[in-house]
Structure 1
Amino acid sequence: MSQKAFVYTELQISAPFDQVPWQQINETIKTKPGFLNKTWLSGVGNNSAGGIYAFDSIENAQVFVTDYFPAEARKFGVAQTTRVFDATATTDASIDMNSVHYGASPKTTPAAFVYTEVQLHVLPFDNGPWRAFNPVLKQQPGLLSKTWLSGLHTGTVGGFYAFDSLENARKFALDYFPGEAKTLNAAFYTRVFDAPVTEAASRDMASPFYG
């Protein structure tokens, strides 16, 4: 695959997704250098708005998070979160988890997404525990795929998951993942997102979750 970087964004906003001007935003993002695709995100319970993006280079991803995205957040008058991840470093780990970002065909249309990030420094990523965790992750109820994430400069370890139901996504985020982080003795960050409400917007941005 051609992606070299992933970007995660989330706006500190509370708005039903049908009130987000995604059509206008999509047309602008499509013009950004190196942009490949985006999966829109709508927070369960808080209606935050965000996305997971693929870029053709780390440099273009960095320009996006330092130039365009802060200006977009400013228009909404809200604080924002951005992260840049090295997509090359997690290729093997993600392919093993049927990641659609690395060419796997979607098994079914996702009903929910989960984003995780663990406060660890693991560089190089391949020295980390992904080989031990992947077999366990594959047994989690309703998990369709995972894209591993490796924080640029920080070496934080995370993932972007697709689930077959919101119930299974919540169980993963609330029950399974805290235990996984505990085994690593690390603080962590989780978010659960409603996939159906953002499907049209994500399809318009060539999201790999929709074939």
Structure 2
Amino acid sequence: MIKEYLENVRSYLKDLPTDEREELLQFYEEQMLDAGYSMAEIEEKYGTPKQFARSLKIEYFIENDEISDETVTRSTRTKNRMNLVWLVILGLFASPILIPVAIGLIGILFAAVIGFLGIIFGIYVGIIGVLAGGLIAFINGVILLWQSVATGVFYIGAGLLLTGAVIFFAPIVWRITHWLFEVLVTFIKWVGNRYLSKNNVKGAR
């Protein structure tokens, strides 16, 4: 009975690395056998195979996201994070009890994404505007050199100053962008741990 239950769990864990998936399943098989759980007790503690698999995947993606592994590419980390967001949303909507939480989360995510995009759009439009202004001022300065050296030098200096400001502040803007995204991911991980971890899987039926 336990093997059949875990076999069903395995069928929902195909997107996890084989070694880690089998290690997880072996661990829980030994735990269930040692405890002498009946099927009713297993489902009471871990939920249905689909629910249990979902909680395992959420915890897997959360734990892996917190590991600083240089071998993990940025695209892989981004993909794992998107999987985590999707799993958390699906997990919340899978439970009638948690649907209000899911709706609230969607609302927060929507507002956060709109706010995030609005801030980023404003910042980058500002940067592009300043850069364009700097280039125009520099070009006008070069042209005006033939008419008035002082005016030409002034515009060239202004153009270089604006361009330098963009180069100086660009890394800061990138760090702010990265920080805002990390805050959003941290919130998603908190929701996953709070409502959809193995300890809370019964609430996600």
With the shorter chain as reference, the TM-score category is: under 0.3
- Normalization by structure 2: what TM-score? 0.22
User: Could you tell me the TM-score, scaled by structure 1's length?
Assistant: 0.21
